[in-house]
Amino acid sequence: MNTDLQLRPAGEADLPHILAFIRELAEYEKLSHQVVADEDKLRATLFGPRPYAEVVIAEWQGRPAGFALFFHNYSTFLAKPGIYLEDLFVRPEFRGHGIGKALLVHLAREALARDCGRLEWSVLDWNEPAIGFYQALGARLMDEWIINRVTGEALERLAAKG
């Protein structure tokens, strides 16, 4: 075990780090313009009366190095919950130390401990380094599935249909 690396559940005091990680990930993914999250919104949705997601913080030599944000989904075919990894990010200066792998191993162990049937996530099709990394860990690309999303005004229009 690497004593330089510590993984721990995030607490409210980590909100500045979580928001910074989200912004840095969005910048890497060229999606900064889509980030509207702020500390108050994160506090309400991560640490409020009904938390919608959980966060694991990775610290390298006591410094915030990366994070994984995840939540439960459900497989009707398996009749079991799953873990969906929404975000995984390691700051560039901390890459190469096994932090990303450690976060995924942690989530895989958490999935088994919670009797989950799967651990899944999405990756942008242009992110070849991440795709190769995930495949080396045993992940299988689900090319036959296409993600659908309804958001913003389209979500409001859909909700108003009767």
| Residue positions annotated with a catalytic role | 134
**Residue 109: in which H helix or E strand, if any?**
helix 99-113
- Point out which residues pair with 121 in neighbouring strands: 85
CA-wise closest residue to 69 among 88, 50, 82, 83: 88
Q: What is the DSSP string of 55-67?
A: EEEEEETTEEEEE
- Contact (CB, 8 A) for 17 and 63: no
C-alpha to C-alpha distance for 116 and 49, rounded to whole angstroms: 24
Phi, psi of 153 (to 5 degrees): -60, -35
Q: What share of the chain is helix, strand, coil (3-state, %, to 5)?
A: 40, 25, 35
